[in-house]
Amino acid sequence: MILSKSCEYAIRAVVYVAAKTVKEERVGIIEIAEAIGSPVAFTGKILQTLTRKKVLASSKGPNGGFYIIDPASVYLIDIVRAMDGNEIFTACVIGLTTCSAERPCPMHHQMKPIRDQLRIDFSNRSVYEMVQAFEENNYFLK
Amino acid sequence: MILSKSCEYAIRAVVYVAAKTVKEERVGIIEIAEAIGSPVAFTGKILQTLTRKKVLASSKGPNGGFYIIDPASVYLIDIVRAMDGNEIFTACVIGLTTCSAERPCPMHHQMKPIRDQLRIDFSNRSVYEMVQAFEENNYFLK
DNA sequence: AGAATAAAAGATATATTTGTCTTCTATTAA
DNA sequence: TTAATAGAAGACAAATATATCTTTTATTCT
Ligand code: FES
Ligand code: FES
């Protein structure tokens, strides 16, 4: 599994929240969890983290809920970094304490391009694009 | 982290064992763990699994130890499948229960090519090649 | 001001992964 | 055939990830 379960839920949640935001709506934990098929309380914790890390925003009280400031300026990589950190883009595939061309493991030269491609793809994929995919073309979040 | 820690240790261990095998030597748990910088007992368990799955072979008693039948016919993907299963090549990046073009998540079309490339690279990389890299060109296992 | 709503925070629980330790079994060599 | 060696197997322990529950805080509406 390339991403932690928390991170998987996080991405799905952000896309769902963003889809609501573009319709000028805020959305609560229960509806989000239902929409993406995740455990409610755990999803709450994840949304809390995302809000602390400024990926999402939230407001309390009636008509409160989660929303996203600007879906076009948040990228997939921001969600991944918020939840799992940057290591998946930098750490050695077979767990050496450092990964570098100077001290490579026997897989380094094969893996580095793939890892870089992953970073590029994650960096170029905005939440806004994912919302468009989700809305327009029959993509799924659960 | 793309691979489990067990799988990381497993790959490093197999390369080390194979490097010994090509020199007609068998090697014990303690030396393996030392060589790859892993906990001895845990490494023992992993080697046990690899032997059960026919990635490695072992013999007990004096002059016993681990070895590999044919380094050229074992591929990286065999080690990964033995330890982590096939899911990393097939499961949805954001955790949907199924991954398919018919029911894609908003990342499917970006991720599928990368995942396929990973499978191809892992399928084409034989243990023998990794041993050559390790021996000839200053590659590292810890 | 008071009641209702909804997220934040913190404590607790469960599951999985990682790691250790002890005993058992097979092999070798004297 | 006995002692030494080394992996196999199983029980146990610690750490981390996943998940739940309760209390608190902020906001809105009446
Ligand atoms: S050193 Fe292992 S991937 Fe770079
Ligand atoms: S459905 Fe998510 S990667 Fe294929």
Which residue among A93, A105, A121 places its CB closest to the CB of B114?
A121
Other CB atoms within 10 Å distance of the CB of residue B124: 12
Contact between chains at A2 and B5 (C-beta distance less than 8 A): no
Ligand nearest to the CA of A3: 2
Task: Report which protein residue has its CA nearest ligand 1's atom 2.
Answer: A92
Closest by CA position to A14, among listed A63, A61, A64, A82: A82
Q: What is the pLDDT of residue A32?
A: 98
Q: In this structure, what token pair is assigned to residue A46?
A: 């994840």
CA of B126 to the centre of ligand 2 (A): 28
Fold classification of B5-137 is Arc Repressor Mutant, subunit A (1.10.10)
Q: In this structure, what token pair is assigned to residue B80?
A: 């990964």
| Single-letter amino acid code for the residue at B100 | S
Phi, psi of B85 (to 5 degrees): 80, -175
Average pLDDT, chain A: 96
Phi, psi of A95 (to 5 degrees): 85, 15
The DSSP code sequence of A34-96 is HHHT--HHHHHHHHHHHHHTTSSEEE-STT-EEE-S-GGG-BHHHHHHHHH-SGGGTS-TT--
Q: What is the pLDDT of residue A119?
A: 96
Question: Domain coordinates of chain B in residue numbers?
Answer: 5-137
For residue B58, give the H/E element and its range.
strand B57-59
Q: Which residues of B53-92 are buried (b: 16+ CB within 10 A; e: fewer)?
A: eebbebeeeeeebbbbeebeebbbbbbbbbbbeeebbebb
Which residue among B15, B125, B140 places its CB closest to the CB of A103?
B140
A-B C-beta contacts closer than 8 Å: 91
Task: Give the CB-side neighbour count of residue B27, counting CA atoms within 13 A.
Answer: 25
The rounded distance, in Å, linking the Cα atoms of B3 and A132 is: 32
Q: What is the pLDDT of residue B1?
A: 58
Other CB atoms within 10 Å distance of the CB of residue A45: 13
pLDDT for B115-124, tens place per residue?
999 999 999 9
A1 pLDDT band, cuts 50/70/90, is low
Other CB atoms within 10 Å distance of the CB of residue A68: 23
The rounded distance, in Å, linking the Cα atoms of A7 and A29 is: 16
pLDDT for B54-89, tens place per residue?
999 999 999 999 999 999 999 999 999 999 999 999
Q: Output the CA torsion A22→A82→A134→B105 (10° steps).
A: -170
pLDDT for A49-87, tens place per residue?
999 999 999 999 999 999 999 999 999 999 999 999 999
Q: Are A132 and A72 in contact (CB under 8 A)?
A: no
Lookup: nucleotide whose C1' is closest to B64 CA: D6
